[in-house]
Amino acid sequence: MNHNTPLSPRPLQHLDDCRQRVLSAAQLKAYGVNSAALNEQCRPGGPWQQLLPGVYLLHPGPPTADERLHAVLLYAGRPQTRAAGVPAQVTHGEPHAPQATPQAPYANAMITGLAALALHRFASAPPLLSLDRIDVMVPRTRRLRSTGFARLVRGHGMPTPQRISGVPVAPVPRALADAVAQLSEAGAVRRLLTEAVRGGHCEPAAVVRELNEARLLTRPHVIDAVDSLLAEGRAIAEDRMYEMVREYGLPDPLWNVDLRLPGGPHLGGVDAYWPDQAVAVELDTRSPRQGLRPELQEESDGLEWSEYARKREHLERLGITVVHITPRKLRESLEQQATVVRTALMASVDREPAAYVMVLPH
């Protein structure tokens, strides 16, 4: 007997001891379980049960949270075994059942919505076992329907999933948008969005962009939550700027001021300004405009960036150095941003003196 010699179907008792307690009909068939045997095992009071169409739990009693997640992904992804319908084969003298393709065990399916946020450890998301439905994202081309505790979400462009304990999970901004789509209670929406920012899961602009893509910014309770989110995000970014100045020994700037030419036009507001060195720091907290159609968002981003660029060019023509910082850079590389600001301050001694500008409270 060589390593490729098929064996007869494996006894069903082996499956009861298998670590994989949730299997699809195709996987069971690969183990040698035919329809008659499957029906016998799933009889009322039997040792197995059907969780979703084509997905079976190999023990009685309620499924665990992990088993429910696995069942939803199996239903939505329908993974193909290495040799579906072919009996188990010998490897190094021991029988092994065919395994799901490791590169894509659930095809393109991924957990999203509240279940994904629970996996991302959101305290404001309900526990997995308390969810009546588990949202699972699939490409638009899939023809499956929502059923049982599996609710299918058609992806408007599939993101790259993150792996959490082996489970493919939608990134936080996308999971938030899918969760908010199912929520009508303003407090629940606000708590989720606030935790996303306070917990450092993502930046406000990324959340708002996904909400805009999902056309959720026309709902009043979502708009109110987004307003709070943006204010929260800016406050957190400003706190990190204060920390940057304090922790890395930068000279104290003038915070949140407007610049104006004497007797001339308003030059714009900046978040921090060192008048002796003529260095300004500006936080980029741009976000998609509420209610704007996604197809026009790119144009809006370009226009808003043009406004930033025009103000920066105007200030630099006057001899003022403008350091552009995003909340994400402050979160991920605070020391590096402090070095950038310090370098700009030190370089001021080698520049021509800047034009005199008036500094006014913002």
| Amino acid letter, residue 319 | G
- Calpha distance 70→54 (Å, rounded): 13
Burial of 356 (0-12, 13-18, 19+ CB in 10 A): exposed
Q: Is the dihedral of CA 233, 239, 240, 242 positive or negative?
A: positive
- Reduce the DSSP state of residue 50 to 3 states and report it: strand
Angle at 205 between CA 202 and CA 211, to 5 degrees: 95
Residue percentage of the chain with pLDDT more than 90: 54
Tokens describing residue 289: 């405009």
Most confident of 16-20, 244-248, 296-300: 244-248
- Residue span(s) of the chain under CATH 3.40.960 come to 249-361
- Reduce the DSSP state of residue 89 to 3 states and report it: strand
Give the per-residue pLDDT at 299.
44
Give the per-residue pLDDT at 41.
92
Contact 88, 98 (CB under 8 A): yes
Please state the rounded mean pLDDT for residues 309-338. 90
279-283/266-274 β-pairing:
antiparallel
Contact 94, 88 (CB under 8 A): no
pLDDT digits (tens, 9 = 90+) for 185-218: 999 999 999 999 888 898 888 899 999 999 999 9
- Calpha distance 314→311 (Å, rounded): 5
Number of neighbouring beta carbons within 10 Å of residue 180: 25
| Amino acid letter, residue 32 | G
- Calpha distance 29→85 (Å, rounded): 5
Please state the rounded mean pLDDT for residues 287-293. 47
What letter does residue 6 receive in the DSSP assignment? B
Indicate the helix (H) or strand (E) that contains 12: helix 12-16
Give the per-residue pLDDT at 121.
96
Kindly report the pTM of this predicted structure. Answer: 0.72
Average pLDDT across the chain, whole number: 82
Indicate the helix (H) or strand (E) that contains 138: strand 134-139
49-52/266-274 β-pairing:
unpaired
Please state the rounded mean pLDDT for residues 111-134. 96
pLDDT digits (tens, 9 = 90+) for 230-250: 888 888 899 999 999 999 999
| Amino acid letter, residue 210 | E
Q: What is the chain's Cα-based Rg?
A: 28
| φ and ψ at residue 13, rounded to 5 degrees | -60, -30
Q: Which ranges in 281-321 belong to alpha helices (H)?
A: 294-317
Which of the following CATH numbers is that of domain 249-361: 3.30.70, 3.30.1330, 1.10.530, 3.40.960? Answer: 3.40.960
Q: How confident is the model at residue 89 (pLDDT cuts 50, 70, 90)?
A: very low
| φ and ψ at residue 255, rounded to 5 degrees | -95, 140
Give the per-residue pLDDT at 291.
44
Indicate the helix (H) or strand (E) that contains 238: helix 220-247
Give the per-residue pLDDT at 244.
96
